[in-house]
Structure 1
Amino acid sequence: MALFLDLDNTLLPSKPAYDFAIGECAKDWKERKLGGDFFSLYESARKKVKNQLEGHSSNRLRLLCFKLMMDVVKHSAIGTNHTNDPESLAISGFQTKDIVDVLWMEERYHFHFLSYLKTESKKEIYQTKLFPKLVDLSKKVPVFLTTNETLRTQLLKVSSFLPDSFRFTLITSEEVGFEKPSTEFFSYVLEATKENPEDSILLGDNWEDDVLGANRHGIASIHIPEMWGQGADLAEYVSETPAPIWTAPSTVTALNFAELWLHKRQK
């Protein structure tokens, strides 16, 4: 018996944190005079990285985006430099000092992202509703955070946001080598946890990666479109497998339902 929890946008507000961090990074990029329009460069680089590394956890690394953005800026400088002078071309090309800028931008991204999470975690709605529920549940059943991300990134998020008394096991797609909703990911999780899928339930915000991924492996699942939506009732979907699927208006509502469901499976 186990409770599988997605992390991003299920337990912590990654989407607004990401939007905030990118907005602040645009200011950093401009102030450092790195060249070009940050947003257009970033969106182009993000799309290329996603396509190139589809299904691999590295497709989420901002470091790759910032490095690619710097490459584009440097190549653009070479294209507008019509001289054949080797020294001028060398100055326009990627240099050792540019590495400092790439690493600095990654550091700034994480700083902004984690700053947002730290501020958000102090809000009453988390302190009085979500966090106490997570801590209480983690004392009753095994909790596994199953996420599509790199290990370092998720460790930073968890340490900046979730309470110290929350007990869990973290499993990232970087450790597995495959992302949700792949068979490889869920097979790894079930093997590593030694849990019976029929007595386990997963909560997540992504319909394909979390809900259908779990469902195909016999794990009951709850879809959470919004962390703090309104309402107290769950709706059940018609599933093609024995594992049921519900949708919940909020994470806390889903956790309450999951606790009751797991308790009944225990009897």
Structure 2
Amino acid sequence: MLILDIDNTILPSKEAYDFSLKCLSEFWQRKAYGSALDFYDRFKLAREEIKVNLEGHSSNRLRILYFKRMIELKFGSLTKKRINLVLKMEEIYFKNFSKYLKEFFHLNKGNYKFTFKLLNEIQASHKIIFLSNENLRTQLIKLESVFPKNFHFNLLVSEELGIEKPSAQIFIEACRRIDSNPEQCVMIGDNHIDDIEGASKLGITTIHLKEMFGEREISKNLNISVSNSFVAHNLNSSLEYYISMRPV
């Protein structure tokens, strides 16, 4: 069975994140709240504060918490008007995040067409679950932006359990939801600690994806002690390798 990370594995979330923040900084400047540097400084400060206060909890990724704290730091308090500003910032963030994903999907439609061809081939006989350290609303917005209408899959986000990868519990729950033992599963993800080390400790075969659509070779992962771990630079070659390991 196949476990797939989402961010920077099947979606270019880092680039979309950077683009969304750039659009928000432009909004911040148009409203004369401060410079782009002021926006990024306040965002960084708010984000770091939330991350510390909610360490290890999936809520530490909620952008609306960052935006609320930014407004409090800027103005000293909330008002009805400032609540609307927080909500507007969240709206702008997700609108531009989705915009970037859709444009990337269009520019890479050949690669993605093959990606979903392989995923449909896999899901004909194997269950697929996407496993992510995020809140549900954020991931649903991302997936709705680009996933084909008739593609069926399972989804587990850290918000549902209150714990994050690389915790063993979240991998065990992912396996349970697709009726599998860890030894029957393959994990594909971009984060060496969260995805690869976390899964490998349970005996899950892993493929560390270094980039989404790069070179197609697959090699042994020499950065981890277990034997059933590999390194790839292309999502589609990773899926093909999965098929070769777990014939569909």
* TM-score normalised by L of structure 1: 0.86
**Helix, strand or coil for the counterpart of 2:137?**
helix
Tell me the residue number matched to 2:56. 55
The residue type paired with residue 211 of structure 1 is I
Specify the code of the residue in structure 2 equivalent to 1:192.
Answer: R
Question: In the alignment, is residue 213 of structure 1 matched against residue 198 of structure 2?
Answer: yes
Cα distance change on mapping 1:167 and 1:45 into 2, 3 Å: same
Name the structure 1 match of 2:15.
Answer: 16
CA distance in 1, matches of 2:43, 2:81: 20
Offset of residue 118 of structure 1: 1.3
Instruction: Give the AA of the match of 1:6.
Output: D
- Which amino acid letter does the alignment assign opposite residue 262 of structure 1? R
For 1:235 and 1:249, how far apart are their aligned partners in 2? Answer: 12
Q: Look up the match of 1:90.
A: none
Q: Deviations over 1:193-247 (max 9, x none)?
A: 3202111100000000000110011111000011122232323437545x61100
Aligned residue in 2 for 1:78: none
Residue 57 of structure 1 and its aligned partner are, at CA, apart by 1.0
The match for 1:85 is: none
Equivalences for 1:111-260 in 2 at 5 Å? 111-123=95-107, 124-237=109-222, 239-241=224-226, 244-260=228-244
Change (3 A) 1:44 1:113: same
| Matching residue within 99, 106, 127 for 2:83 | 99
Shift in CA distance, 208/97, structure 1 to aligned 2, threshold 3 Å: same
What is the rounded CA distance, in whole Å, between the counterparts of 1:162 and 1:245 in structure 2? 28
In the alignment, is the contact (CA less than 8 A) between 2:168 and 2:199 conserved in 1?
no
**Whose radius of gyration is greater, 1 or 2?**
1
| Cα distance between partner residues in 2 of 1:5 and 1:62 | 23
Q: What is the count of residue pairs matched by the alignment?
A: 245
Unmatched 5+ residue regions in structure 2?
none
**What stretches of structure 1 of length at least 5 have no aligned partner?**
76-92
Query: Which whole-Å CA distance do the structure 2 matches of 1:48 and 1:254 have between them?
Result: 37
Question: Cα deviations across residues 46-90 of structure 1 (Å, max 9, x unaligned)?
Answer: 122122212111111110111111111113xxxxxxxxxxxxxxx
**8 Å CA contact 2:207, 2:238 repeated in 1:** yes
CA 1:133/1:193 → structure 2, altered by over 3 Å: closer, same or farther? closer
Identity of aligned residues (%): 37
Secondary structure of the corresponding residue to residue 181 of structure 1? coil
Alignment partners' CA distance in 1, 2:137 and 2:78: 27
Question: In the alignment, does 2:46 pair up with 1:45?
Answer: yes
Task: For residue 175 of structure 2, give the secondary structure of its aligned residue in structure 1.
Answer: helix
What is residue 93 of structure 2 aligned with on the other side? 109
In the aligned structure 2, how far is the partner of 1:230 from the partner of 1:51?
38
Q: Output the TM-score relative to the length of structure 2.
A: 0.92
| 3-state SS in 2 of match to 1:231 | strand
Instruction: Report the more deviating stretch, 114-123 or 217-226.
Output: 114-123
1:262 matched to 2:246: yes
- Find the residue that maps to 1:233 and give its secondary structure: strand
Q: Is the 8 A contact 1:237 1:244 kept in 2?
A: no
Q: Secondary structure at the match of 2:86?
A: helix
